[in-house]
Chain A
Amino acid sequence: MFFYIIRRILVAIPLMFGLVAIVFFLLRTLVPGDPAVILAGENATVELIEQVRRAQGLDKPLPEQFAIFVGNVLKGDLGRSSSTRQPVVERIALALPTTAALTLSTFLYSFSVGLFLGIITAYWRDSWLDNTLRVVTIFGASMPTFWLGPMLMLLFAIILGWLPAQGSLSLRGLILPTITLGTGAAAELSRLVRGSMLEVLSSDYIRTARSKGLAEKAVVIRHALSNALIPVVTIAAAQIGGLLGGAVITESIFGLPGIGTLSINAINDRDYAVIQGTVLFICGIYLFVNLLADITYAFIDPRIRIS
């Protein structure tokens, strides 16, 4: 197990390095113009542009620039925002709690709803409940967040007046954004759990468990679910990455001041330092979450770590 974890971390390191390289080189190849002007902002003074040029070594050859860039990233220095002159890291740190809270609440919501629906539809396979829920979940998985969000807002904030239309870092303020962001993931997860459960429920060891007279609850929960969950864990973790992306849209719908809003505003302001910083940050988190998922996967399924 220990060696497995080490091996996975060793795989993640070059991946992160590759990400940094892609982000560095694409900005320099895809955006025309002097990188110092691009990073300092279009309206920057000559002194400021020179300052940025010196600070990031932009007057040096490209390989050296890259080395300086990697060094800065390792030190946690992502440059300064061209619109506010604040360090990018500071702006990310300010936005992080909102995005973290939204992602966490969404994960809890989608995982619990998806699991619950998956189990009951698999258990009562082909019943009216299964058929109804199947249509509901296909519909749920097809709804774009940027439609579901405004519609929830229309119903619960404008017509019924139960919840605030503006999202905020509070329980009430997070309900609508969470449902908006998590419903698609919950629907997908429930279909996955259903499929996985069906496969397990028809396996020989479940028949054995039943024939030796185990209580139905023990069969379903202890024997079937614990095995059916194995493939689900990886997907659920991969979904967190999707959630990070979806959070961008959800935050902009509900006006939540998270990392998504930060990056969209940065794109509109052509604040490339912030765009670059948020992309690196989100990708870093994504890699880390996937690493955790792989380790968890190996932890619950011994077959993985041996092969």
Chain B
Amino acid sequence: MRLSIPASASAKSKSRAGRSAWALTLEQFLRRPLALVGLGMLLVLILAAVFAPYIAPYDPIRRNFAERFVPPSAAHWLGTDALGRDVFTRILYGGRVTLYIGLLSVLLSMLIGVPIGLVAGYFGKLIDATLMRMLDLILAFPGLIFAIWLVSMLGPDVSQVIIANAVFSLPIFARLVRGNVMSVRHSDYVMAAYGLGMSHGRILFRHILPNVLPTIIVLASLNISSAMLTGAGLSYLGLGAQPPTPEWGAMLADGRPYLRDAWWVSLFPGLVLTLVVLASNIVGDTLRDALDPRSLRK
């Protein structure tokens, strides 16, 4: 994948010319220790979630009333909860649900939102107006309220959370892509492609899409964290993952009544969630700087 640079920018960013977006991204990450830490944290999360059954010292679901509310110790690093289950084990398994929600929500909204944005921005006029008004309607709902409401009707479940998340962030992708497409629609290279007799589909997917791809990647990376947050939030409210599935938001809700005596049940799942969101925000920011030609001109 090559990153096209507008003519006006090329003079000042000669160093970028002829280098792939991957090389530029790598360079940005290597230049920032914090970004590497963020990336490392995400990798650890992914590995921990994938290999949870091999790493976890205990069973995430089986109850053990003899060991209720054991404070953090050598046997239970992060303590145990009200049902005597190991918090560390449940956090490892909970990462699976959180990751699953985050990735799938974004993937789904990208798959629907990006084509809508491409079509609306490229063809304009009535098609654009119709599609955008429909999306405005989704945006007229405040995000979490929309998700809560949708899930309340569909029934509490992880897959419904993903649907609610995806529907809600779909307009964000569509709008961004539309704006980007509109700004390049009349540029020389699109005109040239048109002049050469290329079809609309070919222009859209071969010439315009690669140009807006960096923006989509950045938005997707930033959106994963908010999807994970919404997912955990819904689970906290009892609308997402159902007991006894280990999920960070649900674990926080379980720990809430015992805050006074067993703070570890609430502290650790939330801390891990915060760190994961933090890491993906940092990675998203770095990607944005790496893939945005303007940021290097400063």
Contacts and interface: CB of A to CB of B under 8 A. Distances in A.
Contacts of B256: 150, 253
B252 to A, nearest CB: 6
- The prevalent SS among residues of B at the interface is helix
A151 B267 contact: yes
A154 B237 contact: no
A236 interface: no
10 tightest Cβ-Cβ pairs between the two chains A and B? A147-B270, A245-B144, A142-B278, A142-B277, A241-B142, A30-B153, A146-B236, A267-B152, A245-B142, A18-B137
B142 A242 contact: yes
Interface stretch (A19-27, A45-53, A76-84): A19-27
28 contacts: A15-B136, A18-B140, A19-B137, A30-B150, A138-B281, A139-B278, A142-B281, A144-B273, A144-B277, A146-B252, A147-B252, A151-B270, A154-B259, A154-B263, A154-B266, A154-B267, A158-B260, A245-B143, A248-B144, A248-B145, A264-B148, A267-B152, A267-B239, A268-B238, A275-B149, A279-B141, A279-B149, A286-B142
A150 B143 contact: no
Contacts of A146: 232-233, 236, 249, 252-253, 270
Nearest to A289: B142
Given A142-B278, A248-B148, A150 B237 contact: no
A135 B278 CA distance: 10
A174 interface: no
B140 A138 contact: no
A216 B17 CA distance: 40
A155 to B, nearest CB: 10
Interface in B253-283: 253, 255-256, 259-260, 263, 266-267, 269-271, 273-275, 277-278, 281-282
Contacts of A153: 259
Interface string A129-166: 00000010011011111111011011000100000000
Given A146-B249, A268-B238, A286 B225 contact: no
Nearest to A16: B140
Contact of A275 (B34, B152, B237, B249): B152
Interface of A: 14-16, 18-19, 22, 26-27, 30-31, 135, 138-139, 141-148, 150-151, 153-154, 158, 241-242, 244-246, 248-249, 252-253, 263-264, 267-268, 275, 279, 282-283, 286-287, 290
B237 A264 contact: yes
B: interface residue count bin: 35 or more
A19 B232 contact: no
Given A146-B232, A146-B236, A275-B149, A286 B273 contact: no
Interface of B: 34, 133, 136-137, 140-145, 148-150, 152-154, 225, 229, 232-233, 236-239, 249, 252-253, 255-256, 259-260, 263, 266-267, 269-271, 273-275, 277-278, 281-282
Contacts of A148: 270
A275 B148 CA distance: 10
Contacts of B278: 138-139, 142
Nearest to B269: A147
A27 B142 contact: no
Nearest to B255: A150
Given A146-B232, A150-B255, A249-B236, 9 more contacts: A142-B274, A145-B233, A147-B273, A242-B142, A264-B148, A267-B239, A275-B149, A283-B141, A283-B142
B70 to A, nearest CB: 19
B114 to A, nearest CB: 23
A252 B267 CA distance: 18
Given A31-B153, A147-B271, A158-B259, A142 B249 contact: no
Contacts of B232: 144, 146
A75 to B, nearest CB: 22
A148 B236 CA distance: 13
Nearest to A23: B149
B233 A27 contact: no
A144 B237 contact: no
B140 A15 contact: yes
Given A18-B140, A144-B229, A267-B152, A150 B259 contact: yes
A241 B143 CA distance: 8
B237 A30 contact: no
B225 A263 contact: no
Contacts of A143: 274, 277
Given A18-B140, A142-B274, A150-B259, A244 B229 contact: no
A184 to B, nearest CB: 9
B268 to A, nearest CB: 10
A19 B141 contact: yes
Nearest to B149: A279
Contacts of B267: 151, 154
A215 B17 CA distance: 43
Contacts of B269: 147
A159 B133 CA distance: 51
Contact of A142 (B137, B142, B225): B225
